A and B are shown apart, each in its own frame.
Chain A
């Protein structure tokens, strides 16, 4: 699942028109849409809204280790090197208020230009840009009012490899008054082919994370639960048994055949814990010889 968070409806409108997402009425104060693979939520403008929205969405639907969180939206350019109408992948996000910087891991191979981002509480103006740019924030390429806060909130649920921040340059701060909801939608619509490819790639990346998961299979868990009883395991014996079965699974050893034999020969269930301990030693010997 990709949790996609955007600040404004006009930013999300082309995505809602293009991707088969359906309104999700249980989302409460935040407007939300869902498909099998994407959940899109509109946070509203500002850091508080962005962090609250991320925290609420993710607390309500706790993500799995293979889910991803994508912050998508518009931003202002801090200097002329960042082109208006261009989509950037953010490699570092600085919170203007706290000075704290966040670094997404950028493990998925997305072909996008990269930039650093400054997130503040106020809209960017010529004067503020001048002040911030000349006071230890000269490395910032882009400016927005949501990302660092949403990133910080999402970090409580995701690792840095699961968070992507994508920002489309809509203005330079000084000309933000010229922006209208329609012009923002038009800019985002222009990026739909690129976004389609990005989401497709991220979905594959998510599936790769799923395959990488170390969680024992249901079958393995079921065998373990049965054997803990059959061996009359104490807590430490249960941990040992769990490790033996994990090892057997990873090594491709026929541990079930051994356990079935124990059952056939009447060795399990054991009459007492001492017999359980002895049988565990025998089980280990058979697996590691």
Chain B
């Protein structure tokens, strides 16, 4: 969308919808202080705004509103089959925020949610209580940044710090924070832990052009380098791999850049790697295709068991190729492939 079009739209976060029940919470007030000029609109329930019919999610993503709410019901879910469990038996994820400030054209969130607006749940204490209950039964591997990009929003909510604190107090808890952000200052403010894993998505620039509003590859690699030097546990995710024209050249170039920018010694300190080609639930893809003409999304995927993916031979070739590119720098045991768990 051109900048001319963007000028026609209101600016992001000029409207903040706040559930009346949590309007007086300290976290709510603290978030609202970040937006002194925003129009604050009280709502009974976040779904009154988030789940309206016929919303234009593509435009909303360009000009997001923020919705502050209380999450009720189940707060921590068992991991989805399309997600990598990295060998953890008790693999869970939680949704502290719905939607993302970044706007990747292929992102399943665009197909999963009826709105492009950002919902932030402010009742962290309830999440903590449910997590404690699970931890009384068994160790927990918890992904906290699946349906969003928590690191990029840390200055608003402080949740990454909060979970880092929980990890240091709780030996049975391992947390994964998936990110594409260049959050160097966040990493500098946290103490490294083997059970607090920062999983960075790295993509070639040929793919980053479809990841709107995200940092460049160079910026991500600077943050990764700083994270390794600071003693953080870093995972590199070559996932989702996108079948762009001349994808082999693109991913070979990506690997060369990663090696050049991080150096072999730092690469050897990367905790593990994940490799996976693009896949998405059939329902999400249908909705995603309606909202965008992105070539990445309109690719003629094949439906395997309710999930759309590249034709098996293409997916296999892409993932094998990426694995081969990684093998000079790590062993096979440290490369996780979603396909292998399916």
Contact = CB atoms under 8 A, between A and B. Distances in A.
Partners in one complex: yes
Contacts of A158: 54
Interface stretch (A26-34, A54-62, A242-250, A267-275): A242-250
Contacts of B14: 106
B48 interface: yes
Interface stretch (A43-51, A70-78, A79-87, A108-116): A108-116
A205 interface: yes
Interface in A107-136: 107-110, 114, 116
A190 interface: no
Contacts of A14: none
A91 B55 CA distance: 15
B41 A116 contact: yes
B87 interface: no
Contacts of A284: 300
A227 B250 CA distance: 34
Interface in B187-225: none
B294 to A, nearest CB: 7
B53 A155 contact: yes
A251 B299 CA distance: 9
A107 B56 contact: yes
Interface SS, A side = helix
B295 A160 contact: no
Interface residues of B, number: 38
B8 A287 contact: no
B257 interface: no
B55 A159 contact: yes
B15 A250 contact: no
Interface string B60-82: 10010000000000000000000
Interface string B294-306: 1100111000000
Query: Which of A91, A247, A284 has the most chain B CB atoms closer than 10 A to its own CB?
Result: A247
Given A109-B7, A214-B293, A103 B53 contact: no
B230 interface: no
A103 B299 CA distance: 35
A208 B8 contact: yes
Contacts of B52: 103, 159-160
B244 to A, nearest CB: 10
A247 B298 contact: yes
Interface string A10-44: 00000000000000000000000000000000000
A66 to B, nearest CB: 11
A34 B84 CA distance: 58
Contacts of A139: 42
A59 B93 CA distance: 46
Query: Which of B8, B14, B55, B289 has the most chain A CB atoms closer than 10 A to its own CB?
Result: B8
B49 to A, nearest CB: 5
Contacts of A159: 52-56
A132 B55 CA distance: 31
Interface in A209-243: 209, 211-212, 214, 240, 243
A251 B39 contact: no
Given A109-B11, A246-B289, 13 more contacts: A91-B41, A101-B48, A107-B59, A108-B10, A109-B10, A160-B52, A160-B54, A161-B56, A212-B58, A243-B300, A247-B295, A247-B298, A288-B300
Interface of A: 91-92, 101, 103, 105-110, 114, 116, 139, 155, 158-161, 201, 204-205, 208-209, 211-212, 214, 240, 243-244, 246-247, 249-251, 284, 287-288
Interface of B: 1, 5, 7-11, 14-15, 17, 39, 41-44, 48-49, 52-56, 58-60, 63, 243, 289-295, 298-300, 314
29 contacts: A91-B15, A92-B43, A101-B43, A105-B60, A106-B10, A106-B14, A106-B15, A107-B9, A107-B10, A108-B9, A109-B7, A114-B39, A116-B41, A155-B54, A158-B54, A159-B52, A159-B53, A160-B52, A161-B56, A161-B60, A204-B8, A205-B8, A212-B59, A214-B293, A247-B298, A250-B295, A250-B298, A251-B298, A284-B300
